[in-house]
Amino acid sequence: MKINASNQLSTQSSSSAYILGLFKGKDLEGILDQKLQGLAAQIMKEDNFNGEVGSTMTFRTGQETPAQKIILVGLGNETGFKLDTIRIASAAAIKAATGLRAQNVLAMLPGSGKFGNGNISAYEAALEMAETSQSALYRGGHKSEKQVGGIDTFTIIETDERKLKEIEAGIKRGEAISQARSLARYIMNEPANYMTPTQLAITADKVAKENDLQIEILDMDTCVNKYGMGAFKAVAQGSREPAKFIIIKYAPNNKPRKHIALVGKGVTFDSGGLCLKSPSLMESMRFDKGGAASVIATMSLMKELQPDVAVTAIVPATENMPSGTAMRQGDIVRAMNGKSIEILDTDAEGRLTLADGLAYAVSLGADEIIDVATLTPEAALALGLSYTALMSNDKELTNKIVTAGNECGEKMWQLPLDDDYRDYIKSNNADMKNVGLPTMIGNIAGAPVSAVFLENFIVDSKGNPTPWAHLDISGSGWSNPKLEAKYGLAGPPGVMVRTFVNYLMDQG
């Protein structure tokens, strides 16, 4: 779908649809002629349409101006108008336009020029309309039948010609973000026989080339012999698929304000290893590369964003499989920073891959490190599908990430890091063990215990901890019926891409 801006409401064909936003308690204003206003008012009364956020009503005019198909979309109370209103309304309206088999769509939301209470710019509104509409149309998968029809063009109408450049810039940024989210959703949703560690590296290499970024892909021999990544090796050694350690680097043209490392868990399939998962849990384990999807997709935006900070994405990519060479319960392995780990659960593999990923980020001298992973079921049990669990050793970093997430509707909830949790991973045989205290329903405080494990690997050789945040997307990264209903996000939503965009662009 091509998105553009115009100050002209031109005559359209019968294949066109016109979207008009309507606040609760407000009358149709100006856009429709008097005859169509009367028709719309009559249908609204018959259908009891009252302008609730995201509600839609469609009707045909029998005319070709402004379009034969009209879509009214509710915007709720005018005083409560915000960016999330635009997201919800855009998703609902584009879904309705698809149902009408419209090829060309035109839209002007009320508040054009001032956007509700005046706190939303035309740029922001256009960005949200473009990003949400494109993301709502994305569908992954491998079905053999081809999609019939589809929307060709989506035109945002702004009668004030002076605002067109601002709107066009918002459209450009919104489309770029949507493409990045689609990439993250594609990576996460691809089955393990398609998205192997090798294919993930190929995908990352393509992203790097398209954005003029440096990329280095380490094989296991290099990881072990040069860097001593024994934790990463322990997870990878059970699979016939060769593991890949992916590093993508962006540097601004001028001296960077800081160096930020994004570390993403890239387990392309997690069987649980010798601690085998049940079939019902294993069938969705292609999603265990959601952290990798988020950080690789974020790097696909570097040419568009051009932040004034250096960014390094690090993805330890592997499968976790059972075999005669797989890691065993009771094994002791040594990570890149020299810390020894006793393996008590082979299904707690993600933190082992992240251990070496974080230690590598420290070795690069990163000023801040953020890791993102589908790490623990306990995060989803505690917070459900709507919140990302955040754990951090730095208050300022935490506040920046939470703010960045709130701006784009990706909600966070901070969980504590405490000495009680650190006691849970003490081992008699090694520096630590890879799980805490198991119960019949999971591990006690599983999410924060995994974080206190990871914090052992963000300390430099002098014992100084790097400002660090751990994002557990085990709930928020999965398919969510509420996100599909609200924003049209079918399948994995590509969580954290938009948060990272806001975070990287707000480093003042």
Name the residues annotated as catalytic: 277, 351
Mapped onto helix, strand or coil, the DSSP state of residue 85 is helix
CA-closest candidate to residue 366, choices 459, 227, 229? 459
- Lookup: tokens for 353: 């891959």
Q: Say if residue 79 is exposed, middle or buried (CB neighbours under 10 Å; 0-12, 13-18, 19+).
A: exposed
CA-closest candidate to residue 493, choices 188, 268, 141? 188
- Lookup: tokens for 80: 């409560």
Q: Measured at the alpha carbon of residue 158, what is the angle toward residues 155 and 162, in degrees to the nearest 5?
A: 125
Q: For the CA atoms of the chain, what is the radius of gyration? A: 25
- What's the DSSP call for residue 278? P
Q: Which residues pair with 11 in a beta bridge?
A: none
Count of CA atoms in the C-beta half-sphere (13 A) of 174: 31
3-state secondary structure labels for all residues of 380-441: HHHHCCCEEEEEECCHHHHHHHHHHHHHHCCEEEECCCCHHHHHHCCCCCCCEECCCCEECC
Mapped onto helix, strand or coil, the DSSP state of residue 182 is helix
Residue 483 phi, psi dihedral angles, 5° rounding: -70, -35
Assess contact for 242 and 198: CB atoms under 8 A: yes
Residue 252's alpha-carbon distances to 214, 258, 307, 311, 313, in angstroms, are 12, 10, 7, 9, 15
Q: Measured at the alpha carbon of residue 487, what is the angle toward residues 404 and 149, in degrees to the nearest 5?
A: 130
DSSP 217-257: EE-HHHHHHTT--HHHHHHHTT-SSPPEEEEEEE--SS--S
Identity at 454, one-letter amino acid code: L
Assess contact for 309 and 507: CB atoms under 8 A: yes
CA-closest candidate to residue 162, choices 14, 5, 375, 387? 5
Helical spans, DSSP H, in 287-383: 290-299, 302-305, 350-363, 377-383
- Lookup: tokens for 326: 């797989």
Identity at 367, one-letter amino acid code: D
